[in-house]
Amino acid sequence: MSQEIRAIVRIGDTDLDGNKQVAYSLTKIRGIGIATAYAICRKLGIDPHAILGALSEEQINKLDWAVRNLHELAPAWFLNRRKDPETGKDLHLIGAELVLAAKRDVDLMKKLKSWKGVRHSLGLKVRGQRTVTTGRLGPVAGVTKKKAAAGGK
């Protein structure tokens, strides 16, 4: 009995490689790491080492639902956005939502002119790292040699 394997599977608004194992394919979704992928598979009763493209349509739909609604399956400490400032809810953001939320957070810090916001706006390190010798930005000054004097050495 030969089962057809789909080359591309769409889960969480992301095209995933159907030839890879379920757990490792899920990690290609921004916001889903390997621990989260294994936890999702365990909760749904899907073998994390099965080939993603060989799963049934029902199992893929269950995976898609779980990725989008992880806050309903996992405890609060497992989520990547706890006590969202706008809604107050515990969320797990994926894909573009995660990127936009991080950008909104930085923009809010800049607007409030908090210490971290000021550091972000100046393009400096934010978390207390040294700035004297590391993290230098901009073009490299470099060293330029003076042209050898004509007729010299």
- Token pair 């269950």 is at which residue? 62
pLDDT number for residue 51: 92
- The pLDDT, as a whole number, for residue 150 is 60
Which residue segments constitute the domains of the chain, with CATH numbers given? 8-77 (1.10.8.50), 81-122 (no CATH)
More confident residue, 97 or 137: 97
Per-residue model confidence (pLDDT) at position 135: 74
Q: What is the pLDDT of residue 138?
A: 65
pLDDT tops 90 at residue 144: no
pLDDT given for residue 139 in this prediction: 65
CA distances from 8 to 55, 69, 121 (A): 12, 22, 40
What is d(CA 5, CA 54) in angstroms, rounded to the nearest whole number?
Answer: 5
The answer to whether 11 and 26 have CB atoms below 8 angstroms apart is yes
Query: How many CB atoms lie under 10 A from the CB of residue 77?
Result: 7
Half-sphere exposure (Cβ direction) of 121: Cα atoms closer than 13 Å: 12
Partners of 10 in the beta sheet?
Answer: 15
Whether 1 shows a pLDDT value over 70: the answer reads: no
Whether the pLDDT of residue 143 is over 90: the answer is no
Inform me whether the pLDDT recorded for 140 exceeds 90: no
Q: What are the tens digits of pLDDT across the range 66-105?
A: 999 999 888 999 998 999 888 899 999 998 999 999 999 9
What confidence tens digit (pLDDT) does each residue in 5-59 have? 888 989 988 899 989 999 999 999 999 999 999 999 999 999 999 999 999 999 9
Q: Do 29 and 95 form a contact (C-beta atoms < 8 A)?
A: yes
Q: 49-61 burial by CB neighbour count: b if 16+ within 10 A, else e?
A: eebbbebeeebbe
